[in-house]
Amino acid sequence: MNTETLDLESEYTITGEQIERFQSDGYIKLKNVLSPEVIAHYQAEITKTVNALNQETREMNARDTYSKAFLQIMNLWRTNAVVEEFIKSKRLGRIATQLMGVSGVRLYHDQALYKEPSGGYTPWHVDQYYWPLSNNNTVTAWIPLQAVPMEKGPLEFSIGSQSIAFGRDLEISDASEKKIDEHLKLSDLPIDSSPFDLGEVSFHYGYTFHRAGPNTTDQTRKIMTIIYMDKDMRLAEPKNQNQQNDWDTWMPDATIGEIIDTELNPVIYQEK
């Protein structure tokens, strides 16, 4: 099936007001980014790849909080050519480019986040705690492969929290949930915990605080995510072991202080 027929290359119109709102709020949810046909086609391939690569066999009650939150399978694009089409979508990459106000974006990595039936909550955290990157021009596209009602655990955002320094040094855990939740309440920032329609996609900065509730249904919540960074992003000195692990795993050929131009980090979209 042709990717253009599946609408991965055409432009999605972003308004100036939406760009301003994203940069102010630290996230945005956009409706009708992907058609039901696109989602159905690529969901089948993504799910097939997740099932093939998943190594989690423990019962839910034998897992820790992080492992209960979701099955996490990364860089699917390296193992499935159809998934690679999806990850390299210019339609999605252009949205990320425009929202951040940069000249183009390259891939940091992708990850599937499949929250199983009775899967637990995802604690408050910021993604960029894990990333040894030189600036804040990073954005994650959170792409539901089905509608996500409240009982399936949609992603929740602390609006405007990308400007908060507290909690940026906390690894995702029960402790991060408690400490960050207390601080966000003291900061009096509103929370967006609304459900996702089919075809709706959210984009959030690497330093925007977010979480998700448990999946109380009998069906898996299937999410694909794509992490984009400014195409001119440089590798920074790792601040913790998690950042060192990310360097070793997702950017093994990158050099500190240089643009992260490696085989694993292709440019997805750039303005002409």
Pair type for strands 104-115 and 210-212: unpaired
What is the model's pLDDT at position 3? 44
The percentage of residues in the chain with a pLDDT greater than 70, rounded to a whole number, is 95
Better pLDDT: 140 or 61: 140
The whole domain housing 199 covers 16-251
Q: Which two tokens stand for residue 146?
A: 């089905």
Averaging pLDDT over each range in 40-54, 58-72, 158-172, which range is the top one? 40-54
What is the model's pLDDT at position 143? 98
The answer to whether position 9 is within a domain reads: no
The answer to whether position 90 is within a domain reads: yes
- Tally of structural domains, the chain: 1
The answer to whether position 260 is within a domain reads: no
Q: What is the mean pLDDT of the chain?
A: 92
For residue 104, pLDDT over 80 is answered with yes
Is there a contact between 145 and 41 (Cβ–Cβ < 8 Å)?
A: no
Better pLDDT: 188 or 43: 43
The answer to whether position 10 is within a domain reads: no
Positive or negative, the CA dihedral 262, 100, 184, 150 is negative
pLDDT-derived band at 71, boundaries 50, 70, 90: confident
pTM, entire model: 0.92
The answer to whether position 272 is within a domain reads: no
Number of Cα atoms under 13 Å in the Cβ half of residue 194: 12
The answer to whether position 1 is within a domain reads: no
Average pLDDT over residues 142-158: 97
The answer to whether position 186 is within a domain reads: yes
The residues with which 221 forms a beta bridge, in sequence order, are 115
The answer to whether position 247 is within a domain reads: yes
CATH for 33? 2.60.120.620
